[in-house]
Every structure is written in C-alpha cells, then in structure tokens.
Structure 1
Amino acid sequence: MPAAGTGLGTVQSVERALEVLEILAREGSAGVGAIARELGIHPSTASRLVGALMTHELVERPAAGGPVRLGVGVLRLAAATRSRLDVVAVAGPVCEALAEELGETVNVAVYRSGSAVNLYQAQGRRTVAMHNWAGSRTVLHATSSGKMLLAHLPRAESEALLSGPLEAFTARTLTAPDALRAELRTIREQGWARSIEEFEEGLNAVAAPLYGPEGTVVAALSVAGPAYRLAPEHLPATARSLQRAAGEISRRLGHRARSVD
C-alpha cells in the first residue's frame, strides 16, 4: 500500500518543477545551487528536479556542472499552444461575419485523440440560440467537422478509428465502415462534408477544411442549423459560402492555394 502523503508529495514535486521553469524563464539560466536556494530545498532535491525536466527536454545543461536553461521541449509545448491560439485568433472575425451572413451557427474544430474539439463558436444575431459547443468534444463519424477531419487523417489512424465500435445517435447515423469510407472519399473530392440529422435529430451541418502553411488540414470550419432552415437541398450553396470563408482563414494562416491554369 502506498505510504500516506505520497500523492501530496507528488503534487509538491510537480509544483517545484514548475517553479524551476519559472525561475529559468525569468533569469535565462541558473545554477542548481541558486535554484535550490530560491526554492528553499536541498541541492540534491534541486538536482533531481532538474534531471527529471532534462529527461523531457524541458531544460538543458550545455556544460556538465554548469548553469541550467530552458530546453527545446518548452518550444514544442509553446508551438502546440500557439497553433491553437492562432487558429482561433485568425478564424474568429471571419466566423462572426459568416454567422451574420448565413444566420446560422459557425464552429471551428480541431482533431484531438479520436475526437473533434470545438475551439470557437459564432452565432449571428438572427440565429436561434443553440447549444454552445465551444470547448467540447464531439464524435468524428456523425458530425460534419468530424468527418472532414477524419477524411484527412493518415490512413492508418483513420482505419483504426473506423474499426472501433461506432455509435448510432439517430436513425441516420452512418455506422458501417465501408459506407463511411465511401463518404470520406467524396469529402476529399468535393472539398466539403455534410451531416444530415446524423448527430442530432433536426440538426444539419456542413464543414470545409482549414489549411495551414504546409498545406495540411489543421481544422474544420462548419455551419450548423435546424433542418427546417438548413435543408439538404440548400447545403451545396451553404458549402460554397463556407468554402470561401475557409479559404480566407487558410490564407490568413499562411496557406497558399495552388493556382490552376
């Protein structure tokens, strides 16, 4: 049985490790002795903290016994955060304008660990109030954003997701892997995805891809609305407006579309 207080000790170690990072961010570099003095801990404890952070490349020590500084692992974490913040900052104004133009709800979602994570939601003033999806996770196979993201995953990853059990949310939800594979091919060919009452009865949606500087799909832009207003026959026209907005966001993210002669 774990000793009493083990959990508390772990939390304290994490807090001290974070304090080490704060010290290095402030000072640029610092010796283990200086870190120990500021934290009020034994030098051996400070050395163990530095060693743990070095394992994850969060700090580095160019010379043995020399000062410690922040490592490349911090840059990786910052880049991951920045990419999400960039998408939201760039997409926000375009989403707001599109929501006003169409009178429907506009969302931006990214792929994370088998789900579509909604980062931003905009609603036009004429839009009937809908659930706020910002910050929530939704499934891939039954939503327009999810299918768009799924269509652009590496093949091995998408196949792994399709091989698992797929929940039916309504009578229209596609759960047959072969049917979904066929739809994903169509999505890649036509450049937009749709969901017709597949996630919620009475709710339709379309999605378009957002491209990053390298030409990869980094997020999905979607428009959703009640089926009586966003009817299936209206989805292609809505998709064209959506694709124009998605192209503008992609351009602002640094993507340069290839010209067609």
Structure 2
Amino acid sequence: MPPAKTPALTGNAGTEAAARVADVLLLFTGGPEYLGVSTISRELGLSKAVVYRILQSLVSREVLATDPGVVGYRLGPAAVALGASALRRFDVRTAAEPVLRRLRDATGETTTLSGLVGDERVYLEQFESRAEIKMTVEIGRRFPLHAGSSGKAILASLPLWRRDSVLAGELTALTERTVTDHDALLDELTTISAEGVAVSLGERQAGAGSVAAPLIGPDGEVHGAISVCGPVYRFSQEKIERYRGLVHEAASEITRAWAGPPTTRPR
C-alpha cells in the first residue's frame, strides 16, 4: 500500500498555523539577535514541540539559521533577501528622493541610493549630475560590498558575524585600486564604522570617485547606502571633506524620515 499522505491544513487550522509561523518570525524583529526554543515558547505561549517544528521548517528554507557554538536561532539569508525585496518596494525611495536631489544640487555630482541584497548591494535610484561630464550607475546591477564607498559603508555597518562572513569570501579586485587584503580592509572598515562615512577613489570603477554613508532603517539595521559620485579628478581632498559632512547629514535626514511608529511584539 502507498504511504498515507499528510492531510493538508485547511480553514481555521491553516490560518492558525500560518499565524504561529508569523508570530515566531516577528519575535526576531526586536530583542536579542539569537532566540532559543524555550524563549519563543514562553513568549508566544506555544509548546516547545510546536516551536521546534516551526524553527526547523524555517531553517530548512534558510529563513532562519544557526551558528556553530551558539545556542539559538537567528535570521537567515532568505529573510535578508525578503527584507531587501521589501526595501526596494518600501517608501525609502520616497524619503530619499528630495534629499538626494538637494544633495545632487549642493555638490554638482550624481547622487545614488543603494540597497543591501544578501551579501551584495544594488543601485536602486540615481539623480544624475547636470554637468556635461558626469558619472552614471547601472540600476539593478549587483556589486560586492568590499569595493566602492557604498559597499564599504554598508559592510562597515553590518553585525560583526555577518561582516566576518563576507570577509571570509573571495575579495575580488574590480580595479587595480580595489582593497583585497583582508587586514587592510578590516582596518578601513573600523575607521568607516567610527566615522559613519566611506570614501572610494577608483576602487569599484576606474576613474570614479565617491563618498557614501549607510542608511539605517527603523529597525536599527543597515539596509543600504547613499553616495555622491563623479569623475575622480573632481574629488579633491577639500571637496571630499565637504562631501563627507553633506552625505552624513543627508543619510541621517533620510533615516529620520524613514522611521515610523514603534512596533509591538506579539504576546
């Protein structure tokens, strides 16, 4: 005889199961980075067996993940991808547009908005310089985080475990100026993290200069970056210092506009 099939969840049973999964995931939007079975069980009033089955299902789909030597679960790469997809559709573009237009006019250079997608970034929007000779970017194309000011601004703002994961991979040279030495890049990221601004002079694209700052979402996590970019010969040290202040303030303004009312965790 063929094995018996597990009956599909229908009606209220299916709705309840979906609600439990959603409630588990929502717990990861606040509080500690790692959550264990007992904590989730206590917070949601579910049995440990039910919680464990939900967690294993989410891990199998990479929505959650575990780390060696750490007790508990954290958000996985699939959750990051979902968050990045939501970011591209979210009103961060609405919040960023007037700020980036003013930044473009204040600097005379192209301004950009990038989003974090997995362990890479993509350009989501640009406001082109009105200068005859200018830099433009390719919307939607993925770039590594270790090359260019936007990528480094994001990388420097990631949680340490995730930053280390990115740095453990291959650091490919995109130009002769790309920093591919692990220790040198780590030192630079430490400085960027402290100052809140990254600078690139031909590291991602030969002949291009840029200054970028990370975009921190309402959840306190980095979701992307903004930048001023143009021909490297126009990026004198004096202009770079001016752009650093302008970009940092622009990123802070976007973050403030992006922030919404606080969310309440399920009980």
TM-score using structure 1 length: 0.67
The structure-2 alpha-carbon separation of the partners of 1:91 and 1:223, relative to structure 1 and needing over 3 Å to count, comes to: same
The structure-2 alpha-carbon separation of the partners of 1:129 and 1:234, relative to structure 1 and needing over 3 Å to count, comes to: closer
- How far does residue 115 in structure 1 lie from its aligned partner after superposition? 0.8
The residue aligned with 1:61 is: 11
Of 207, 211, 220 in structure 1, the residue corresponding to residue 225 of structure 2 is: 220
In 2: Cα distance, 1:156 partner to 1:79 partner: 18
In 2: Cα distance, 1:71 partner to 1:127 partner: 55
* Larger-gyration structure (1/2): 1
The residue aligned with 1:86 is: 91
Amino acid at match of 1:128: I
The residue aligned with 2:111 is: 106
Amino acid at match of 1:62: N
The structure-2 alpha-carbon separation of the partners of 1:105 and 1:129, relative to structure 1 and needing over 3 Å to count, comes to: same
Mark the runs of 5 or more structure 2 residues left unpaired by the alignment: 1-5, 26-78, 262-267
**Residues 110 and 219, structure 1, Cα contact 8 Å, conserved in 2:** yes
The answer as to 2:207 corresponding to 1:202 is yes
Amino acid at match of 2:195: Q
Query: 1:51-106: per-residue Cα shift (whole Å, max 9, x none)?
Result: 4xx7xxxxx73148xxx799558998997654332211211121122112211111
TM-score using structure 2 length: 0.65
In 2: Cα distance, 1:208 partner to 1:198 partner: 16
Quick one: percent identity of the two aligned structures? 36
**Residues 199 and 212, structure 2, Cα contact 8 Å, conserved in 1:** yes
Of 234, 242, 245 in structure 2, the residue corresponding to residue 240 of structure 1 is: 245
The structure-2 alpha-carbon separation of the partners of 1:98 and 1:82, relative to structure 1 and needing over 3 Å to count, comes to: same
- How far does residue 170 in structure 1 lie from its aligned partner after superposition? 2.2
Amino acid at match of 2:177: R
Query: 1:83-138: per-residue Cα shift (whole Å, max 9, x none)?
Result: 33221121112112211221111111122122111111111323634333221111
**Residues 107 and 223, structure 1, Cα contact 8 Å, conserved in 2:** yes
Of 135, 146, 149 in structure 2, the residue corresponding to residue 141 of structure 1 is: 146
The structure-2 alpha-carbon separation of the partners of 1:175 and 1:227, relative to structure 1 and needing over 3 Å to count, comes to: same
RMSD: 3.1
Corresponding residue SS for 1:110: strand
Amino acid at match of 1:252: A
Runs of 4+ in structure 1 off by over 4 angstroms are 68-82
Aligned length: 199
Amino acid at match of 2:147: A
The structure-2 alpha-carbon separation of the partners of 1:127 and 1:187, relative to structure 1 and needing over 3 Å to count, comes to: farther
The answer as to 2:254 corresponding to 1:249 is yes
The residue aligned with 2:181 is: 176
The structure-2 alpha-carbon separation of the partners of 1:142 and 1:80, relative to structure 1 and needing over 3 Å to count, comes to: closer
In 1: Cα distance, 2:156 partner to 2:12 partner: 44
Amino acid at match of 1:167: T
Query: 1:126-156: per-residue Cα shift (whole Å, max 9, x none)?
Result: 3634333221111211110100111122222
In 2: Cα distance, 1:146 partner to 1:61 partner: 46
